Amino acid sequence: MDPLKNIRVVLCEPGHPGNIGAAARAMKTMGLTDLRLISPERFPAPEAEWMATNAIDVLRSATLHSSLHDSIKDCVAAFAMSARPREWSPQVLDVRAAAARARELEGDVAFVFGNESAGLTNEEMFACQVLVHIPASPQFTSLNLAQAVQVVAYELFMATNPAVHGRTEKLATVQDMEGLYAHLEEAAIASGFHVAGSGTRLPERLRRLFTRVPAFEREEVNIVRGLLKALLSKWRGQ
């Protein structure tokens, strides 16, 4: 099952069809497909298709609605996107926290974006349960509509795919690292770089050097040990 199937993007009265197409493209890059349009100024339009490169399927499956209520009435939660602080508003979250909250919910969830020039009205905002902002420079906080959709889509993708944040390969175990340290010491002695029992702190320094890397993958350890094995074989064959 598509993990982001329950997420919908709602654009309220978008003024430029190019932004609709660009939003569809931004959605598809992150696995979102459900686009809802409320009273767009012009749609369908060729400009939308021009900007929806390789996301024509998302664009053409977009549904048209006459009101925000109609587009979100079956959702368990709606998140209103706004760069503008409001004196009175629902709970306020930044976009990363909002994405995490949305992924915890069972049922359909909407992220609601306002018109390019005016943003969301107070009525539209209060139709939602959470007000969401995208942190930005205080000197200029306003993003283009499609850019804002891209940021939200990215955060939803990352909240759904935590493995993307870090490594997916098998990490080296303590035993793997101990084998590497022993192999390094063996190579240092065989090459004449280190004299066993000389009292130098080379073995400890090598450990300290390698522990500066937070986590090695097992394959990385095997590469280094493969190199050491080849060097040892060459030195001993001379």
- Mean pLDDT rounded to a whole number for the chain: 90
Nearest to 65 by CA among 57, 55, 73, 76: 73
Percent of the chain with pLDDT over 90: 63
Q: Which domains does the chain have, with CATH numbers?
A: 7-165 (3.40.1280.10), 174-237 (1.10.8.590)
The mean-pLDDT minimum among 8-22, 38-52, 148-162 falls in: 148-162
pLDDT tens, residue by residue, 86-110: 777 778 899 999 999 999 888 999 9
Query: Can you give the three-state secondary structure of 41-67, one letter per residue?
Result: CCCCCHHHHHHCCCCHHHHHCCEEECC
CA-to-CA distance for 170 and 181, rounded, in angstroms?
19
CB contact at 8 A, 216 and 177:
yes
pLDDT tens, residue by residue, 47-98: 999 999 999 999 999 999 999 999 999 999 999 999 877 777 778 899 999 9
Q: Which residues does residue 10 pair with via DSSP β-bridges, in sequence order? A: 36, 112
